[in-house]
């Protein structure tokens, strides 16, 4: 029976010859992930259920990235619970401050997840790892608790949607603009519980970091997962990183897709998602005059080294507008060091930006950039719901690193060609 990448990974981990849309399966997990917000809930459920051992100390990740370094007593207690659980069960992949990074940038960077893996995480953006040809998806903390204990997960095989993207992106358009464009077309539930597979010569030209950006935001279209075929770029990325053997799955040429969507990338100009939902997108040429108070460049979506290089290239020799607060957050310690060694941090500091240790912080309105009433932020993050970054009467606009950098300089949303 012909199958897609996603179907093949699910069938393999379920010990089945084939699966089809709608099948309910029980599958073996390669990795189960929790952070400092979601893991404590899973830990309490794990202990309430009477479990005494985890299924594999090498296949569980505890990544306290949301409120670390701890912002208050409550967050300190959350991380303390995670830290004690990790120590009690000798969890290999627990990373405290000084070693931790934003989870969805950190795990691929460290080679902890690789092609062919089946990964669950109690965080909706776990779908990021599809960029490496893995099946990864977000689950609730209760599902995570039972994953910790049994190494198993229950799944319904999703419908398959194929996005065929061809053409050369315009200057300053990026992977972020591709996924914002798609979300703007289909809506935040247009791919609900579907697998979004991305192919085409535009995709082939993207870096692995760019593919991670697209996979990361598949959930913003309601998808179960986003996924890419493994190619030379993928294997080069995983070589010398991978902590275990990878397995490559390919979609059959005659695999069935419930929908095939063709997109001309040459027509995708930089996109802006207006408040208060990621599908409220506009091309930058139609945005009008939107002043802003704060710019955030970072997150699991756009905090990688190529994102920082793009922003620094635009900011070099310039200053942020006097009315702008610009916050730069490298996604991992290694990215932070690369940015430092390449002189990017000097560029940001000379431009009057602040540079933070790796954290999710402002993305979820946690800390490191809370908005007050009536304030507007332009951000490279992935969500802009009401109150997402602070006061319920604040506003969040989503964009790529290039647009964020140029807008920080100008004090309003602008294309880099107009600064």
Same domain, 244 and 311: no
Residue 283: both structure tokens together: 């091309």
Same domain, 259 and 282: no
Is residue 411 in some structural domain? yes
Residue that the structure tokens 């109690």 belong to: 122
Same domain, 250 and 328: no
398, 179 Cβ separation under 8 angstroms: no
Same domain, 20 and 138: yes
**pLDDT (0 to 100) of residue 93:** 98
User: Taking the chain (419 residues) in consecutive chunks of 10 residues, what is each chunk's mean pLDDT?
Assistant: 97 97 97 97 97 98 95 96 98 96 98 98 97 98 97 97 98 98 96 97 98 98 98 98 97 97 98 97 96 97 98 98 97 98 98 97 94 98 95 98 98 96
Same domain, 235 and 156: yes
Overall number of domains in the chain: 2
CB neighbour class for 22 (10 Å; exposed up to 12, middle 13-18, buried from 19): exposed
Q: For 142, what's the count of Cα atoms within 13 Å in the CB-facing half-sphere?
A: 3
End position of a domain, from candidates 240, 263, 286: 263
Same domain, 255 and 280: no
Query: Which residue segment(s) compose the domain that 388 sits in?
Result: 273-418
Same domain, 304 and 335: yes
Q: What is the C-alpha to C-alpha distance for residues 413 and 397, in angstroms, rounded to an integer? A: 9
CATH number at residue 301: 3.30.499.10
Global pTM exceeds 0.75: yes
Is residue 328 in some structural domain? yes
Same domain, 243 and 373: no
Residue 249: both structure tokens together: 């799955």
Is residue 81 in some structural domain? yes
- Strand order of the sheet with strand 93-94? 93-94, 60-63, 31-35, 118-121, 135-138
End position of a domain, from candidates 263, 287, 322: 263
Same domain, 232 and 277: no
Q: What is the C-alpha to C-alpha distance for residues 397 and 376, in angstroms, rounded to an integer? A: 8
62, 85 Cβ separation under 8 angstroms: yes
Query: Which residues lie closer than 8 Å to 74 by C-beta, 6 or more apart?
Result: none
Segment holding 334, helix H or strand E: helix 333-341
Is residue 268 in some structural domain? no
End position of a domain, from candidates 242, 263, 284: 263
Same domain, 89 and 109: yes
Same domain, 39 and 112: yes
Q: What is the C-alpha to C-alpha distance for residues 312 and 340, in angstroms, rounded to an integer? A: 12
Could you please report the per-residue DSSP string of 245-291?
A: --------TT---SEEEEEEGGG---EEE-TT-TT-EEEGGG----B
**pLDDT (0 to 100) of residue 69:** 92
């Amino acid at each position: 029976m012909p199958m897609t990448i996603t179907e093949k990974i699910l069938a393999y981990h379920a010990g089945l010859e084939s699966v089809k849309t709608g099948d309910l399966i029980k599958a073996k997990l390669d990795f189960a992930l929790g952070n400092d917000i979601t893991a404590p809930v899973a830990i309490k459920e794990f202990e309430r259920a009477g479990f005494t051992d985890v299924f594999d100390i090498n296949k569980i990740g505890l990544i306290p990235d949301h409120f670390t370094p701890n912002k208050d007593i409550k967050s300190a207690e959350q991380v303390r619970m995670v830290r004690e659980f990790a120590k009690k069960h000798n969890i290999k992949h627990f990373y405290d401050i000084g070693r931790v990074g934003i989870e969805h940038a950190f795990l691929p960077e460290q080679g902890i997840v690789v092609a062919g893996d089946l990964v669950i995480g109690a965080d909706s953006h776990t779908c990021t790892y599809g960029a490496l040809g893995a099946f990864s998806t977000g689950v609730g903390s209760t599902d995570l608790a039972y994953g910790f204990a049994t190494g198993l997960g229950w799944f319904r095989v999703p419908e398959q949607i194929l996005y065929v993207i061809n053409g050369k992106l315009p200057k300053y358009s990026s992977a972020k603009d591709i996924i914002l464009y798609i979300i703007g077309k289909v809506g935040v539930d247009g791919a609900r519980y579907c697998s979004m597979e991305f192919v085409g010569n535009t995709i082939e030209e993207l870096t692995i970091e760019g593919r991670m950006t697209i996979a990361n935001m598949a959930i913003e279209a309601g998808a179960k997962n986003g996924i890419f075929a493994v190619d030379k770029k993928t294997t080069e990325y995983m070589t010398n990183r991978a902590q275990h053997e990878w397995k490559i799955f390919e979609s059959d040429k005659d695999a069935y897709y419930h929908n095939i969507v063709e997109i001309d990338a040459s027509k995708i100009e930089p996109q802006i998602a207006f408040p208060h939902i990621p599908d409220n997108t506009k091309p930058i040429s139609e945005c009008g005059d939107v002043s802003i108070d704060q710019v955030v460049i970072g997150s699991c979506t756009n905090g990688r080294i190529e994102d920082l290089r793009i922003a620094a290239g635009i900011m070099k020799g310039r200053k942020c507008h006097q009315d702008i607060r610009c916050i730069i957050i490298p996604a991992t310690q290694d990215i932070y060091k690369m940015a430092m060694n390449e002189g990017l941090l000097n560029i940001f500091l000379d431009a009057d930006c602040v540079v933070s240790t790796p954290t999710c912080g402002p993305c979820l309105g946690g800390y490191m950039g809370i908005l007050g009433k009536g304030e507007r932020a332009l951000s490279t993050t992935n969500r802009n719901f009401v109150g997402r970054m602070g006061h319920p009467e604040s506003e969040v606009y989503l964009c790529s690193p290039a647009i964020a950098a140029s807008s920080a300089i100008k004090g309003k949303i602008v294309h880099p060609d107009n600064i």
